[in-house]
Amino acid sequence: MKLKLPLLANNEQILAKELLKKIDLSANKNQVTHFLTPVEQKLLKKIVAYNYKTVSLEFFGGYEGSERAKAKIIKFLNYDISYEVSCLSAKFNTKFNNLTHRDVVGSVHSLGINFDRIGDIIIQDENIIIFADNSLKDYLIANLTRIKKANVSFLLKDFNDIEIKRNYETFFITALSLRADIIISKITNKSRSKTSAMFESEYIKINHFIIKNHNFRCKEKDLLSIRKYGRFILKSITQNKKNNKY
């Protein structure tokens, strides 16, 4: 069966074609993919729904609400297969070491690991939590022993022993319009010219897609990722009827 792509935006078309090079949907069996980004998960759902009526998808990344997750492609209900995901955790001394997500990612990359075999990496208090392909757990435990100047010792953890906390801070902004550059200028407290440079440098993602067009119109529930500033959700949008500001 030759797969057809649903109606997608140009950037999605490119990603979808790359995704299908890694996943053989024609295989007559149940299968589990590598770790997928949120965008890849969204595209896989669209492709499967467009081409197959009897194939279902399930996703698992180690905990509820994970961003990176493996997909289980289910063609037969009479047998199940494992996601083959492991959870590793290590403690570090926050008094002497200030480790960031980027530091951990860099150390994992330095081991020559293809990142589609790694799920979410979370730093929570003094704990580093890594979700990874089962086949990597022993290698990571043996080789990921130092991050920057911190000595670390990873241990295999049961999923039930890990509690992932999501901390959000609520704040309000007032903007003339919902254009991405105006919203991001308000969030970062930077001039429009400086935020335009951030778009050109591919520092901005909206709903996990890199956005270069500063005129992009944001909407409620959009997830904005701004390099060096963090992530922001447009939880709700209201418009002042007197001055039309948001």
pLDDT tens string 33-81? 999 999 999 999 999 999 988 999 999 999 998 999 999 999 999 999 9
* pTM recorded for the entire structure: 0.81
* Section 15-32 average pLDDT: 92
CA separation for the pair 112, 22 (Å, rounded): 19
CA atoms within 13 A on the CB side of 101: 10
Confidence of residue 1 (pLDDT cuts 50, 70, 90): low
Hey, what are 172's tokens? 């309000």
Handedness of CA 180, 64, 130, 94 (dihedral sign): positive
CA separation for the pair 187, 192 (Å, rounded): 11
Residue with the larger pLDDT of the pair 243 and 116: 116
108 pLDDT higher than 80: yes
B/e letters for 113-137, b = 16+ CB within 10 Å, e = fewer, are: beebebbbbbeeeeebbbbbbeebb
**Which amino acid is located at 3 in the chain?**
L
161 pLDDT higher than 80: yes
Confidence of residue 120 (pLDDT cuts 50, 70, 90): very high
Instruction: Give the neighbor-by-neighbor strand order of the sheet with 204-206.
Output: 209-210, 204-206, 223-226, 230-233
Q: What is the mean pLDDT of the chain?
A: 90
Q: How would you class 65 by CB atoms within 10 Å of its CB: exposed for 0-12, middle for 13-18, buried for 19 or more?
A: exposed
CA separation for the pair 12, 43 (Å, rounded): 7
Which pLDDT does position 244 carry in this prediction?
A: 67
Distances (CA, A) of 82 to 74, 76, 211: 12, 14, 36
141 pLDDT higher than 80: yes
Residue 224: closest CA among 192, 245, 199, 200? 199
Which pLDDT does position 243 carry in this prediction?
A: 67
Confidence of residue 2 (pLDDT cuts 50, 70, 90): low
